[in-house]
Structure formats: structure tokens, C-alpha cells
Amino acid sequence: MKCAACGSPVEFPDKNLLQETVCPGCAVRVRRRTGDETMAMPVSMMLPDQFQQADLQRLVKRGEVLQDRYRKVNPDKQEEGDSDKALANALESLASSISQLERKLSDEPGAVSLVDEDEMIPILDASRNGNQLQAPGDSPNGKDEPRPAKSSSPLQASVLVRREAAAVTHRMLREKNRDRIWSESGSGDDGRIGLFAYLMKKAPATTIVVTLLGMFGLIAGTIVLMKDSFRDKPEPLGEEALLPSSNIGQLWEDDPEAAQAEAVARGFLNAVSAEAAKPFVYQSARIAPRLEKLFQPITSPGMYRLALKSRALTPGGQSIFAFRVWPEGEDSRMLVVVPEGKMPKVQWEFFAEVGELSWDEFMTIRPDEGVLMRTWVRKSNLYFPPYTQQDWQAYLLHDYTEEFQMIAYADRGSGADWKLSKALEEAPVKFNRYDAVMAQAEVSYIMEMPSVGEDKRVIISEITRVPATSWLPRGYLPSNQ
């Protein structure tokens, strides 16, 4: 093997790759490397003494030369203004040289001026090897010949050169600045370009990506706002027109009745047990068994946002208040406060979407006989045997969160079908993008069917009766109910 530093032969006692030896030629420690049977690689961190020392003075001089070369302007990186200036200077020098040649030729004895007495541009005489000039009208044999027709506007050669140079320069600048035309269209009268044009010029890819992300963000935000606005639309509470809601902060001074309703609503929302909620619940004694069994406080009592959405008058002239509640970590829900004696109370069945059974109980018990349910209702096009479209009308029943859903069939033309169809046609409530009705319906479980194209199964039920198309208690239903 040979030393990679000096080329001297190197021998190793064995084939151990980690063994090092000293090169006899340069005294540098070398080692073998895997796969290389020819060269031994230096591994020493110290150079031997016999290496020639570097001339530091010579290095200083060479460093100065390199610095001078670095400071010189690279002709290949000249700015656009410098190249335009150099071109203009070259064209000016060309025109000046032609003018000087004109004067020299006119001063030579026996020479004809570049411009004759009629200011016509002369031509070269080929018979004199191009060293003399022949004026127009002079023939080589000494005889006068008729002059050619005069130009309408003769010009000197230097003027023609300058005009041609200006035309060439103009064409060159148009070609060079063609890619800047788009940015000039976005500039103002003072020459400054707009922000979008500047960003497109500096970073077009990044600008396009950020613009698209902004557009998608606006679209997503619009969809979310539209969804919330659909869900925030309250259920019409009566036949009378809704009165405008007051400012919550001034209710105690302006409207003590509304202020009391808000205090009752907050007392109910802050309750952590059924016993604590009973003083604020409408007809708590009548529904005590269901309240104690099914009451569930909000996720974070005290951590919610409450807003008065509407206020309606019952046929008896009493006020019903509808609040929108945004519990922390949950979807918004509607809370209704109705009068009971001298103090308004919260209708817990409305808030919890509970009839004779809750949705969870219905799905677990699956009653064969009709039970009263508070449900959202909208029309459906799903028909499973033995239910046909000619004899039955299909409806989709679900809760507010749409966690529980089932297909319910009403006998076409029956009282239940007529009441639901009329409510959907005359007084629908927007649920997301659909027209729906908040109804109290007697529903009985029929069977469970596999869903078309999906893994989950569909609950089939029948609607036997619809007592009301509102969730309000019996005493506060509209007169047409």
C-alpha cells in the first residue's frame, strides 16, 4: 500500500483496520480503510517538522490581490440602468465618430464633401478603390449628366445615425421591459405599485397559497355562522308577534318581569342536582319522578353564556321568555321560562327534550304502544316494507343533537299526518338547512332495519297521534293547537 499524503510504500503487520503505522516518507501516521487495498489514509493531527513552512508575507500579498479582485464590479452583474447607459454612450460615440470622419474628408485636398451644395449625401466612387467620393451628377468621363431627383428632406449622416440609434434603443427597451407591463397596470399615478402586485412580483407562489387559504377560511367561517344562525332561530311561541327583546343589563330597571325570568333561568342552570333545581322547574311536583331520574346538570354549572332571544304573549296576556344557552363544551340549547303563579319557572321538559320517556329510554325500552315524545320532525323519502308511499307518509324524528334518529310512518291522510304536514307548510322552524317542526307525538317502536349503504341500523316506528306541534305545556299552547 502507498501513503495518500506522499506516495511512499507503507506496510502493516496485520490486516486490522484500527491499527496505525508511521509513513517512512512523510512521518505521518496512516491507517487502512474498509474496501481500499491501495492507499493508506493519514490520521495524524500533527505535521512533521521536515514540511516546508508557508511564506506568510507571500500569503499577505496574494490576499490583497484577491481582495482587490473581489471589490471590482462584475460586468456580468451590472444593473439595468448601467447597461442602458453604456448602450447610449456607445451610440453617442458612433455618431461623434461619423461627424469627425465627415470633417476629415472635407478637409482633404481634391475630396468631395460628404454633403454637397444641395445637401445631398454623396456616394463612393468604385473606380478609385473607394478612396475618393463622387458627387451626384458628376460622371467619370467628365461629362455632365442629369442629377438624380432630390430627396424631399435630406439629412446629414450623423442625424440619421442618431435617429436610427434612438429607434434601436426604443425597441430594445420595449423587449426588455415587456414582462413589467402587468405590474405597471397595477401601479398608481405616482408610479407606486399596489400591495398585491408587489407580493406577486416578489413571492408569487406564497401569495397564491396564502390567498387560497384565506378564501377557504372565509368560506368555512361563513358556513359555521350560517349553521349557528339557523339553529339560533327560536320556536314561535304563540300567534302574537314577538316583541323585541330588551338589553339584559337594563332589565331590572326597564322590565322587572324579564329580569326575574333571567334570574330564574340562571338559578336553574347553576343547579347541580334535581333537588337544587326543583324550586326553578315548572310543575316540579307533577314531574318529580322523571325529574329525579333524568335530570342532568350542564357540563360546567356557572360556566355558560345566556341571552334573551324572544318574548311572546300567551292568549291570556302572560309573558313567555325564550333564552339561548351556550354551555361550555356543549351545543347551544333553548331554555323557556313560563309563568306559574307569582314566579316564572323553567320548563325542564322543553330544555331536556323529554316526554313520557327520554330519547335514551325509548331506544332502550322500545315500547310497542305509543308514548309521548318531544321530537324534531321533518319529512323523509325512506320507505321500508311493508310501508308504501301510497299509504304512508315517512318522517324523520330526532333530538336536537341528532344523536338519536328514527324513521316514523304516519297513516297518509290521518289526523297526525295532516297536523304535521300543515305545520311544516305554514310554520316551519329551520334546523340547519331543513324545515322542521318541534312536535309532541305519540310514537310506538316497530322494528329495526339495516340502513341502505351504511353499517348502522335504522329504527322504524309509527306515529299514532300528534297532540301539538309545539313543546310548550298544555296551558300555553296557541289557540289552533
Phi-psi region of 250 (alpha: psi -120 to 50; beta: other; left: phi over 0): alpha
Shared domain for 402 and 450, answered yes or no, is yes
Instruction: Decide if 324 is inside a domain.
Output: yes
Instruction: Decide if 144 is inside a domain.
Output: no
The residue among 319, 352, 385 that closes a domain is 352
Mean pLDDT of all residues belonging to the chain: 76
Residue 214, pLDDT > 50, answer yes
150-159, 201-210, 296-305, 455-464: least confidently modelled range: 150-159
Shared domain for 305 and 327, answered yes or no, is yes
pLDDT for 347 equals: 93
Q: How far apart are the first and last CA of the chain?
A: 108
Shared domain for 252 and 222, answered yes or no, is no
424: domain CATH number is 2.40.50
| Residues 82-110, mean pLDDT to the nearest whole number | 69
Residue 186, pLDDT > 60, answer no
Query: Residue 45: which of 24, 31, 59 has the closest Cα?
Result: 31
Shared domain for 388 and 408, answered yes or no, is yes
Where does residue 19 rank: exposed (0-12), middle (13-18), buried (19+ CB within 10 A)?
exposed
pLDDT for 474 equals: 82
pLDDT for 61 equals: 66
The residue among 39, 54, 69 that closes a domain is 54
CA gap 441, 420 in Å, rounded = 10
Instruction: Decide if 337 is inside a domain.
Output: yes
Instruction: Decide if 8 is inside a domain.
Output: yes
pLDDT for 51 equals: 54
Orientation angle between helical segments 157-176 and 80-107, nearest 10 degrees? 170
Instruction: Decide if 274 is inside a domain.
Output: yes
Residue 133, pLDDT > 60, answer no
Residue 75, pLDDT > 80, answer no
CA-to-CA dists, residue 373 to 199, 414, 420, 460, 463, angstroms: 60, 19, 14, 15, 10
Shared domain for 310 and 405, answered yes or no, is no
Structural domain for 411, as ranges: 364-474
Instruction: Decide if 345 is inside a domain.
Output: yes
Shared domain for 252 and 346, answered yes or no, is yes
pTM recorded for the entire structure: 0.48
pLDDT digits (tens, 9 = 90+) for 441-460: 999 999 988 765 555 678 99
Shared domain for 296 and 203, answered yes or no, is no
Shared domain for 1 and 21, answered yes or no, is yes
Shared domain for 337 and 252, answered yes or no, is yes
Instruction: Decide if 284 is inside a domain.
Output: yes
Q: Which residue reads 430627396 in cell numbers?
A: 151
Instruction: Decide if 304 is inside a domain.
Output: yes
The dihedrals phi and psi of 297, each to the nearest 5 degrees, come to: -70, 165
Shared domain for 257 and 332, answered yes or no, is yes
344: domain CATH number is 3.10.450
The residue among 19, 34, 54 that closes a domain is 54
Shared domain for 457 and 368, answered yes or no, is yes
Count the domains in the chain.
4
Shared domain for 368 and 469, answered yes or no, is yes
